[in-house]
Structure 1
Amino acid sequence: MEEAILLARNAVANGVTHIIATPHHNHKYSNNSLKIKEAVLNFNNEISQREIPIKILPGQETYFYTSIVDELKDVILPLANSNKYILIELPSNHLPAFLTEILLQIQLKGYKPIIAHPERNSVLRKEKNLLFELVNNGALMQINASSLIGMNGYKLKKYTKDLVNHNLVHFISSDAHNTTSRPFLLKEAYQYVGKKFSKQLMNYFNDNAKYVLLGKDFQPWKPISYV
Structure 2
Amino acid sequence: MIDIHNHVLIGIDDGPQTEEAAVALLKQAIDNGITDIIATPHHHSGAFFNSESKIIEKMEELTKIIEKHQLDIKVHPGQEIRINGDMVSELQSGVSLSLNQSQYVLVEFSFTDVPNYVESLLYDLQMKGYIPVIAHPERCKPIIKNPDRLYEIVEKGAIAQITASSITGALGDDLKEVSLKMIENNLAHVISSDAHSAEIRPFLLKKAYDVVSEELGENFTEVLQFNADAILHNKEVRVKPPQKMETQQKKGKKQKKKKFLGLF
* Common fold by TM > 0.5: yes
Unaligned runs of 5+ in 1: none
Q: CA deviation at 1:92?
A: 1.2
Counterparts of 2:61 and 2:200 in 1: how far apart (Å)?
A: 26
**Inter-partner Cα distance in structure 2 for 1:218 and 1:143:** 15
Aligned runs of 1:1-227 on 2, under 5 Å?
1-27=19-45, 28-74=47-93, 75-82=95-102, 84-226=103-245
8 Å CA contact 2:180–2:212 kept in 1: the answer is no
Question: 2:240 & 2:23 partners in 1: Cα distance?
Answer: 36
After TM superposition, what 4+ stretches of structure 1 lie above 4 angstroms from structure 2? Answer: none
Amino acid of the structure 1 residue aligned with 2:170: M
1:49, CA displacement in angstroms? 2.2
Describe the SS at the equivalent of 1:72. Answer: helix
TM-score (norm. length: structure 2): 0.83
Indicate the larger mover: 67-76 or 134-143: 67-76
Q: CA deviation at 1:73?
A: 1.4
Q: Distance in 2 between matches of 1:63 and 1:19?
A: 20
Q: Distance in 2 between matches of 1:218 and 1:158?
A: 24
- Range with bigger deviation, 103-112 or 213-222: 213-222
Contact 1:57–1:81 at 8 Å: present in 2 too?
A: no
TM-superposed CA distance for 1:204, in Å, is: 0.4
Q: Answer whether contact 2:186 2:243 (CA < 8 A) is retained.
A: yes
Q: Could you say what secondary structure the match of 1:20 adopts?
A: strand
Aligned-partner residue type, residue 39 of structure 2: A
Secondary structure of the 1:104 match is helix
The answer to whether the 8 A contact 1:58-1:79 is kept is yes
Contact preservation (8 Å) 1:12, 1:54: yes
- CA distance in structure 2 between the partners assigned to 1:199 and 1:160 by the alignment: 16
Q: Distance in 1 between matches of 2:176 and 2:36?
A: 26
Looking at CA atoms only, which structure, 1 or 2, has the larger radius of gyration? Answer: 2
Q: Report the residue type matching 2:192 in the other structure.
A: S
Residue type of the partner of 1:78? S
Deviations 1:105-161 (A, max 9, x none): 100000011111111111100101111110000111001000011111111111111
Q: State the AA in 2 paired with 1:142.
A: Q
Cα displacement (A) at 1:2: 1.0
Query: What's the offset of the Cα at 1:218?
Result: 2.4
Shift of 1:42: 2.1
CA contact (8 A) 2:181 2:245 kept: no
Tell me the matched-pair count: 226
Q: Which AA in structure 2 matches 1:147? A: S
